[in-house]
């Protein structure tokens, strides 16, 4: 587990950018934290790191999945906040994305933790006041642990 | 057949709708079946559930529109359908229905951009739309500021960089334990409150930037509620709702007016579900009056998704010589100007 203290909006995005540059097809990020903790903001950074135009990365709450092309790899941005049953998760075709050849960022992934791949990077954002956030990276599986180590090395 | 009758079909989100409109302006029938009760328990629309309900509803809704207008499919001159933007599974149902009807009857079909439809909703009230104008579309899924230099041409000059304005309403309402959709609930609470009680931040306030950001406002509002909870203080809900709503209205209106001035327009158009908020409308009206401009907004029942506006937009595109063919497909992230 690696904990990063971000004191601003900009630092939170920058952490996302750094992580985005490390990602490869098949990687999955599981993002959790309260409403307003900065999950979408962090994913904006990840997308920027992949070369996606930042203004295209918006909240997926309404559509459940946003797909962004134009970066070095496709980025699939999920929000599971409004889903309640396994059936709904199946119906949005999660298997094709989670085990596909793009990069997947899942907001509120812990709501369906047992459906997430074993190889992943868990990221938790916690509000520490106005714009300050504690960002915790916990790698799962070999690839997840490698990403955690690489992030630790960058700060 | 030169009947001037357009069959409009709209299924881009959680409304299954069909309408018959004559000459692009006269609404003969307008049927909207809302799934709002179904989605209320989810705090919003769930795409696959929406799509299944569209499939069940689409032909009964089209038949009802024809029956109410007392016309048959044979009387229709052109079929117009919203093909994006929206939820792809929902859009597909309307597009497939429109294409199969067009094929069976050999009538022309025109694909319509859903956002463009919202602009044409103004024609349905007998108002005269005279570009150049700026149009602000605000809903649960969209916050788009458009410049329309002349009819049939569009330029997106601003959009949200994170949450849609309606989404900020919905999320804060959900935390307050209010039912979906959140906007009307917050507006109701706000009527008894003081909009100056709490100052919430406005995103991207710098001059000349027409993009929006509502994520910071959402976070500030949630922080305010959390802090009160931690200190065990009571939140004055009407004051909170009025101040939160005012932050959204203030920034939307400020950018809309700045755009109107920059592009030297005569008319300002409001559309989308949030345009049904009367506090918002009244404030925009006041600002528009001060500048000697004209404000257009559709009547409340044409602000939310409907097929009459799709029929109107489709009719004018058809008259401009535009036709779609059977390769017409649903495009979830369709942008204005995309073909």
As averages over each run of 10 residues, the pLDDT of chain B (339 residues) reads 92 92 94 73 64 88 96 97 88 96 96 87 82 88 85 80 91 89 92 96 83 93 92 94 97 96 94 87 96 89 89 90 92 64
Domain A2-154, classified CATH 3.40.50.1980, yes or no: no
Q: Which residues of B touch A9 (CB under 8 A)?
A: 216
Q: Which domains does chain B have, with CATH numbers?
A: 5-120+303-319 (3.30.420.40), 131-265 (3.30.420.40)
**What is the CB neighbour count within 10 angstroms for residue B70?**
10
φ/ψ of residue B271, rounded to 5: -150, 175
The alpha carbons of chain B give a radius of gyration, in whole angstroms, of: 20
Structure tokens at B67: 């029956």
Question: What gap in Å lies between CA A93 and CA B64, rounded to an integer?
Answer: 34
pLDDT of residue B336: 59
| Helix residue spans in A23-125 (DSSP H) | 39-50, 86-91, 94-98
pLDDT digits over B38-84, tens only?
656 555 666 667 788 899 899 999 999 999 999 999 999 999 999 98
Q: Which residues of A touch B141 (CB under 8 A)?
A: 62-63
Q: Which residues of B touch A130 (CB under 8 A)?
A: 223
Question: What gap in Å lies between CA A101 and CA A98, rounded to an integer?
Answer: 8
- A3 pLDDT more than 70: yes
User: For the whole model, what pTM was predicted?
Assistant: 0.77
Q: How confident is the model at residue A89 (pLDDT cuts 50, 70, 90)?
A: confident
pLDDT of residue B42: 57
Q: Decide if B47 and A63 are in contact by the 8 Å CB cutoff.
A: yes
pLDDT of residue B44: 62
pLDDT of residue B339: 45
**Mutation test of the interface with chain B: which of A63, A69, A75, A126, choosing the one with the most B Cβ atoms within 10 A?**
A63
Q: Is residue B183 packed enough to be buried (19+ CB in 10 Å), middle (13-18) or exposed (0-12)?
A: buried
Count of pairs with CB atoms under 8 A, one residue in A, one in B: 65
Question: What gap in Å lies between CA B308 and CA B216, rounded to an integer?
Answer: 36
Q: At what angle do helices A39-50 and A9-22 cross, to 10 degrees?
A: 50
**Mutation test of the interface with chain A: which of B55, B87, B161, B305, choosing the one with the most A Cβ atoms within 10 A?**
B161
Residues linked to residue A139 through DSSP beta bridges, in sequence order = A121
Query: Could you tell me if B308 and B27 are in contact, meaning their C-beta atoms sit under 8 angstroms apart?
Result: yes
Question: What gap in Å lies between CA B139 and CA B298, rounded to an integer?
Answer: 14
Structure tokens at B100: 């199969």
A→B contacts (Cβ < 8 Å), by residue, are 9, 34-38, 40-41, 44, 54-55, 58-59, 61-64, 82-84, 88, 91-92, 127, 130
Question: What gap in Å lies between CA B74 and CA B327, rounded to an integer?
Answer: 23
Q: Bigger pLDDT: A82 or B47?
A: A82
φ/ψ of residue B114, rounded to 5: -55, -40
B→A contacts (Cβ < 8 Å), by residue, are 42-49, 87, 140-141, 159-164, 167, 171, 175, 211, 215-216, 218-219, 222-223, 226, 332
pLDDT of residue B120: 85
Query: What mean pLDDT, rounded, does chain A reach?
Result: 92
CA dihedral A15→A17→A18→A20, nearest 10 degrees, is 120
pLDDT digits over A15-74, tens only?
999 999 999 999 999 999 998 899 999 999 999 999 998 888 988 887 788 888 889 999
**Residue-wise DSSP of B272-310:** SGGGG-HHHHHHHHHHHHHTT-EEE---HHHHSS-SHHH
């Amino acid at each position: 587990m690696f904990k990063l203290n971000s004191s601003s909006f900009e630092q939170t995005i920058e952490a996302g950018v750094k992580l985005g540059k490390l990602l490869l097809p098949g990687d999955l990020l599981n993002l959790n934290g309260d409403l307003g903790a900065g999950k979408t903001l962090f994913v904006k950074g990840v997308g920027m790191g992949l070369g996606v135009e930042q203004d295209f990365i918006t909240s997926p709450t309404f559509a459940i999945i946003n797909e962004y092309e134009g970066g070095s790899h496709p980025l699939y941005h999920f929000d599971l906040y409004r889903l309640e049953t396994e059936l709904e998760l199946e119906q949005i075709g999660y298997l094709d994305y989670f085990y596909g050849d793009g990069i997947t960022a899942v907001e509120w992934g812990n709501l369906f933790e047992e459906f997430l791949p074993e190889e992943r990077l868990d990221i938790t954002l916690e509000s520490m006041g106005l714009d300050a956030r504690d960002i915790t990276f916990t790698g799962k599986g070999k690839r997840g642990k490698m990403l955690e180590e690489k992030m630790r090395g960058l700060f | 057949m030169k009947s001037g009758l357009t069959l409009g079909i709209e299924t881009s989100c959680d409304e299954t709708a069909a309408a018959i409109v004559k000459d692009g302006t006269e609404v003969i029938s307008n049927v909207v079946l809302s799934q709002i009760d179904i989605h209320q328990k989810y705090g919003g629309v769930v795409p696959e559930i929406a799509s299944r309900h569209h499939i069940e509803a689409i032909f009964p809704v089209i038949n009802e529109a024809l029956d109410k207008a007392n016309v048959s499919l044979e009387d229709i001159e052109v079929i117009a359908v919203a093909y994006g933007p929206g939820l792809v599974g929902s859009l597909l149902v309307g597009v497939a229905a429109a294409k199969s009807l067009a094929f069976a009857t050999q009538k022309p079909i025109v694909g319509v951009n859903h956002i463009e439809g919202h602009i044409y909703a103004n024609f349905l009230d007998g108002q005269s739309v005279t570009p150049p104008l700026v149009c602000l579309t605000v809903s649960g899924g969209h916050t788009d500021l458009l410049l329309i230099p002349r009819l049939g041409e569009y330029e997106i000059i601003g959009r949200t960089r994170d949450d849609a304005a309606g989404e900020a309403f919905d999320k804060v309402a959900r935390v307050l334990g209010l039912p979906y959709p959140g906007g009307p609930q917050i507006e109701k609470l706000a009527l008894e409150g003081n909009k100056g009680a709490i100052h919430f931040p406005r995103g991207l306030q710098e001059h000349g930037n027409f993009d929006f950001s509502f994520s910071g406002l959402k976070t500030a509002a949630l922080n305010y509620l959390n802090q009160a909870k931690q200190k065990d203080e009571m939140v004055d809900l009407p004051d909170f709702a009025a101040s939160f709503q005012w932050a959204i209205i203030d920034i939307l209106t400020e950018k809309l007016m700045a755009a109107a001035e920059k592009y030297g327009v005569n008319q300002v158009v409001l559309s989308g579900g949030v345009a049904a908020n009367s506090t918002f409308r009244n404030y925009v009206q006041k600002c528009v009056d001060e500048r000697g401009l004209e404000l257009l907004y559709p009547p409340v029942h044409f602000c939310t998704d409907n097929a009459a506006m799709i029929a109107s937009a489709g009719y004018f595109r058809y008259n401009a010589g535009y036709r779609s063919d059977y390769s017409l497909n649903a495009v979830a992230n369709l942008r204005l100007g995309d073909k």
